[in-house]
Amino acid sequence: MKKRKLGLALSLVLAAGTLLGACGNSENDDKKSSNGKDKKDNFTVSMVTDIGGIDDKSFNQSAWEGLQAFGKDNGLEKGKDGYNYLQSKSDSEYTTNLNTLVKEDYNLIYAIGYALAESVDEVATQRPKSHFAIVDSVVKQDNVASIVFKEQQGSFLVGVIAGLQTKSDKVGFIGGVDSKLIKKFEVGFKAGVLSVNPNAKITAQYAGSFGDAAKGQQMANNMYSSGIDIIYQAAGGTGNGVFTSAKELKKKDPKKDIWVIGVDRDQKEEGALKVKGKDYNVTLTSMVKRVDVAVQDLAKKTKEGNFPGGETIEYGLEENGIMISKSQENVTKESLKAVEEYVKKIKSGEQKTPGTEKELKELGFK
């Protein structure tokens, strides 16, 4: 696809030449980047976020951090000749943003989140020579690489921590949009909690959005007021409201046990607060999903000429793509020991981690 305007002199030559000659010049021009360098010597990569944006302190932010790390490792600068992103303010912008990056001639284009799957499928069909990668969904196209994670494994582990450390035997889960993907978080969490605390009561609710912090705060307020003392949130930007709720309650009563379990990246920073000069943190732990590592890894492979088009790449405990956060000051030694034991069991296959309600019931949990 021709993306650059030819100079006036070249335009005159082409106008006087044959149609075949014009096509030949177009092909040669298409092999170069906007600064005239050969594309293979000027690898470029960009991403389209979902509505959470790169500052969602979660999924999109982790992807952007991975892209930034790749850029730094390869001497690239932010912009059209290096690495970049387009932020989607609404679902309707997904297809437009993907097409914009195609026109800007990026060697690899990431779509961050399952919500972009339909748009990726559409644009990839129309643009078969472009390379795409989607995170958290599978798009079956030869020019699309699909990156997925075993979220149920990490959710099981933070569920073990919640089950052992809840004092009220009441824990909660707040999801963004009720979907097959987020169900993996919910169900894995439930299995982890009930594996170590069969008497625990688990309340699961969905906000219907990944970008509504106010809704997340309201839902968390209701849960905490009902006696729930630990909430695991898998809700993107909506989850920021869960942290706001917990911190406000902590400010009112610093002695109260109020906890949030973060998601996708270490969210210790989101749980930090001061009360009368004393530091507190309401982040119990986080289920870390190394989206940054996956993004960086695939970009490296593509730059080296090994783009895994048509393949699905899955990251779990075995690939170090899933783990609990390294910030563990609020996690008891008992919980850490239990997590260590369950990690071994999961890797060996002794412990199954359900990703659906059906699998949860098959393991004997309700």
The pLDDT value recorded for residue 273 is 97
CA-wise closest residue to 245 among 234, 231, 263, 255: 231
CA-wise closest residue to 134 among 326, 330, 295, 255: 295
The pLDDT value recorded for residue 53 is 85
Mean pLDDT of successive 10-residue stretches along the chain, which has 366 residues: 38 38 40 42 92 84 95 96 95 96 97 96 98 97 97 98 98 96 97 98 96 96 98 94 98 96 94 96 96 95 97 94 96 98 97 96 89
Q: Report residue 223 as tokens.
A: 């849960």
The pLDDT value recorded for residue 41 is 62
The pLDDT value recorded for residue 37 is 42
The pLDDT value recorded for residue 310 is 97
The pLDDT value recorded for residue 38 is 47
The pLDDT value recorded for residue 256 is 93
Q: What residue spans of the chain are helical by DSSP H?
A: 8-16, 19-30, 59-73, 94-103, 117-126, 151-165, 180-196, 213-225, 239-252, 291-303, 333-348, 357-362
Q: Are 138 and 308 in contact (CB under 8 A)?
A: no
The pLDDT value recorded for residue 40 is 44
The pLDDT value recorded for residue 67 is 97
pLDDT digits (tens, 9 = 90+) for 122-171: 999 999 999 999 999 999 999 999 999 999 999 999 999 999 999 999 99
3-state secondary structure of 272: strand
Q: What string of DSSP letters covers 51-112? A: TT-TTSSSHHHHHHHHHHHHHHHTT--BSTTSEEEE--SSGGGHHHHHHHHHHTT-SEEEEE
Q: Report residue 362 as tokens.
A: 């098959």
Edge-to-edge, what's the strand order for the sheet holding 108-112? Answer: 83-86, 45-48, 108-112, 132-135, 144-149, 312-315
Global pTM reads 0.81
Q: For the purposes of burial, counting CB atoms within 10 Å of the CB of 330, is it exposed (0-12), middle (13-18) or buried (19 or more)?
A: middle
What CA dihedral angle connects 261, 179, 347 and 169, to 10 degrees? 40
The pLDDT value recorded for residue 58 is 79
The pLDDT value recorded for residue 57 is 77
**Tokens 């991975």 map to which residue?**
66
